[in-house]
Amino acid sequence: MNKTAKTVTSVLLAFFYSIAYTVVGPMMKNQDTTFLKSMILPLFICFFVCTGVNLILFTFLPKLKFHKSHIAITAFVNKLSDKKQFLIVWAFIFVCWIPVFLLTFPGVLSYDIISQTASAIDGITSNHHPFLHTWLLRIFMKFGAACFSSYEVGLGFLSLLQMIVLSYALARFVLFLKKKNVHMLLVLFTALFSAFWFTNAVMSVSMIKDTLHAAFFVLFVCHFTDIVTDYSSYIRKRSNLIALPIISFFMFATRNNGLHIYLFCFGLLALFRLPQVKKIASCIPLIAVVILPVVLFKVYTGPVFKALGVEQGEVRETLCVPIQQLQRVSSLKYEELTEEQRAVMRSYIIDCPSWMGYDHDRAYDPFLADPAKSCFYSAYYNETKADFWKFFLKTGRQYPGTYVIAFLSNTLGYWYPGYYYYSAVMYEDYPADLFIYPLTRRSLWYNDALNSLYGSLCLDDFWRDIPVVRFFFVQGFSLWILIYSLILSWKKKGFFTKVLPLLFPMIAQFGIMILCPMASFRYSWPFYLIIPIVFITIKNDENINKDND
């Protein structure tokens, strides 16, 4: 960017961020769209500070040069073989997580596992929680019961498996950045951050589907980035053609929206890159490999599920945004609707839900879609999909502002760093009597100071109020990280065909996040794991798309 473009971009981006941070965000948080005079001063302060920060970022970051000491560090690291480097990083990350494993043994028993353990033991009949993850709970719990007369011991082995897989994926990611000629200091920072960021340690032992999904997502990003940057070398390595379908399948099977991320990334890559391909025949092996895990997953969720008596989760799980929008209209505008509109509304959702009423099941919460989803009639939707969407669009034209506010409220935590109600990392120790099959935390080694530290890091809000520090505790920076990444890489040669595709996984993950029932940190965690990909887009022109297909 030239000087004028940098200035204009800095000012515009600062303006939008300031509006979001000092005006719209507080409005959505308080559910009051009144503009207050008290917002003016914070708006101007935020605007001038952000403009200055942006000018520094857009002017100096692309020209950043590290001290020559990084050359010595690189030379020292390169004395070791790639295999030894990988094993050292893998072991380092894994060892750094061991204290949390010992403290929380058999692991952090998340709220999802309260219902999942019942399914795991009594019989898996639904894919609401991914069948594969529930099946793993079943295998390890029964193993623990059979060999050690303890479900907890079995889950402890599952925690170890999660730690191994996740630390492997992050170590693979670190060495992948090195392979892509990212500055060694940034590579080392990624390794240290992967090991010491408390979220990674705690999530590695959390009994929740997100952990294994995040690991396979990181591995998928490594393969996808390799395809984007160096297709010829990637396709010549046969192990890649075997690993990609396996990794992708497990990414789908460990979280139900993994398939959508995959299709988004490869669909757009084909749209942008196929017109440039000189020999279509050279792409056939990759096309076959890309299609294979999709076919396998359809067989897995179709004939295999049918044979095992497993039903898919209800469709309402994928309709959080439209359900919230209709629920807001029903809750706030019900008296304005015609009797015909009310009748249609009643056919899809329970009549006139209350406003944020947790005392019964007819609740609408602007920041959480779960109460609204519980009021939605999925069976009737399945019979009348076309009619539902006609009604939804017609209602949206009538109440566009209500729809916009409903969307901004439900996604508030993903774009407003001042809202962090769901940004806590699971660390709670739920009472054993909550579980149908009682489970309890049995620390193998307990240290009160360390346990208090992790409990504070995961659950206390004061960390989320500290400027700069809050970046590591609040998911509200995710949208802005993505925007800044796009701007900083905008002028790279071949942006649409060579650079932008590198950010497809981040874009896809953010898209999945804003369609979730709430702005939870656990949903944004995979996004933060792959942020170092931007090091490739910003700093390494010579390493982006070496071949021309």
Q: What domain range is 331 assigned to?
A: 315-398
Indicate if 93 and 51 belong to the same structural domain.
Answer: no
Q: Tally Cβ neighbours within 10 Å of residue 198.
A: 18
Task: Quote the tokens at residue 306.
Answer: 């049918």
Q: Is residue 197 part of a domain?
A: yes
How far is it, in rounded angstroms, from Cα 428 to Cα 209? Answer: 17
Q: Is residue 434 part of a domain?
A: yes
Task: Quote the tokens at residue 335.
Answer: 């008296």
CA proximity to 218, closest of 182, 272, 256, 254: 254
Q: Is residue 200 part of a domain?
A: yes
Indicate if 31 and 112 belong to the same structural domain.
Answer: no
How far is it, in rounded angstroms, from Cα 186 to Cα 65? Answer: 12
Angle at 135 between CA 131 and CA 141, to 5 degrees: 150
Indicate if 91 and 179 belong to the same structural domain.
Answer: yes
Q: Is residue 260 part of a domain?
A: no
* Beta-ladder partners of 349: 376
At residue 206, the 3 state secondary structure works out as strand
pLDDT given at position 434? 84
Indicate if 55 and 95 belong to the same structural domain.
Answer: no
Indicate if 14 and 56 belong to the same structural domain.
Answer: yes
Indicate if 90 and 188 belong to the same structural domain.
Answer: yes
Residues 259/224, Cβ–Cβ less than 8 Å: no
Last residue of a domain, one of 63, 98, 114: 63
Phi and psi torsions of 215, nearest 5°: -65, -45
- Cβ-based neighbours of 372, under 8 Å, separated by 6 or more: 320, 323, 324, 327, 349, 353, 363, 364, 365
Indicate if 383 and 438 belong to the same structural domain.
Answer: no
Rg of the chain's alpha carbons, rounded to an integer? 24
Residues 168/215, Cβ–Cβ less than 8 Å: yes
Indicate if 57 and 88 belong to the same structural domain.
Answer: no
Task: Quote the tokens at residue 507.
Answer: 């874009």
Q: Tally Cβ neighbours within 10 Å of residue 423.
A: 21
Q: Is residue 509 part of a domain?
A: no
Helix (H) or strand (E) holding 355: strand 354-355
CA proximity to 194, closest of 172, 221, 179, 216: 172
Task: Quote the tokens at residue 120.
Answer: 């795991």
Which whole-number Å values give the CA distances from 61 to 40, 152, 180, 283, 531, in the listed order? 31, 49, 19, 36, 16
Indicate if 185 and 98 belong to the same structural domain.
Answer: yes
Phi and psi torsions of 35, nearest 5°: -80, 125
Residues 445/103, Cβ–Cβ less than 8 Å: yes
- The single-letter DSSP state of residue 180 is T
How far is it, in rounded angstroms, from Cα 471 to Cα 463? Answer: 9
Q: Is residue 72 part of a domain?
A: no
How far is it, in rounded angstroms, from Cα 175 to Cα 511? Answer: 27
pTM for the model stands at 0.93
pLDDT given at position 358? 42
Phi and psi torsions of 79, nearest 5°: -65, -25
Residues 540/182, Cβ–Cβ less than 8 Å: yes
Q: Is residue 453 part of a domain?
A: yes
CA proximity to 138, closest of 124, 159, 127, 150: 124
How far is it, in rounded angstroms, from Cα 526 to Cα 217? Answer: 7
Task: Provide block-wise average pLDDT over 10 residues at a time, the chain (549 residues).
Answer: 83 96 96 94 96 87 62 81 95 98 94 85 90 95 95 96 98 96 90 97 95 98 95 91 97 94 96 78 88 97 95 87 92 88 86 46 78 85 94 96 96 95 90 84 93 94 90 94 90 84 96 94 96 82 50
Which whole-number Å values give the CA distances from 346 to 137, 330, 340, 403, 514, in the listed order? 39, 9, 10, 18, 26
How far is it, in rounded angstroms, from Cα 398 to Cα 394? Answer: 6
Q: Is residue 360 part of a domain?
A: yes
Indicate if 8 and 105 belong to the same structural domain.
Answer: no
How many structural domains compose the chain?
A: 3
Indicate if 352 and 449 belong to the same structural domain.
Answer: no
Residues 261/509, Cβ–Cβ less than 8 Å: yes
How far is it, in rounded angstroms, from Cα 401 to Cα 405? Answer: 6
pLDDT given at position 110? 83
Indicate if 336 and 385 belong to the same structural domain.
Answer: yes
For the chain, how are helix, strand and coil distributed in percent, rounded to 5? 75, 0, 25
